[in-house]
Structure 1
Amino acid sequence: MRDGQRIRQRLLYIRHYFPGVDLDTISDEDFASLSEEALWLHEQFMVHNSAKAIFTP
């Protein structure tokens, strides 16, 4: 995955999980922190849904 694609993916995650954040005004440090949080939330969501699909009859 290229850097541009990774940044776009993180932008989408932030917009999805933190819709109230104004991406035009946050600092680079805040963007980095929020993107890590959004990525973690997305991974947790994916793990939960995968486990639910496996264990639901």
Structure 2
Amino acid sequence: MGIKMGVALDSAGREWHADTYVKGQGLEPLRCERCPTPVAHQAAHTRERDDRSIYVPAYFR
């Protein structure tokens, strides 16, 4: 299982927050803010679990 991160950097070194990032805004590839590992953005969504809707906030993985 990967780590969920709230912040990532683009190729220009600009910081992006998962809750406000939209694909295509930053210079890809995005990377971890602490190391050169590439990351992908996961948009916020709802998930059904035990007959309940659960909100999953946006994150980088």
Which TM bucket (shorter chain)?
under 0.3
Which one has the bigger helix percentage?
Answer: 1
Taking structure 1 as the reference length, the TM-score comes to 0.21
**Structure holding more strand per residue:** 2
TM-score norm. by structure 2 comes to 0.20
Structure with larger Rg = 1
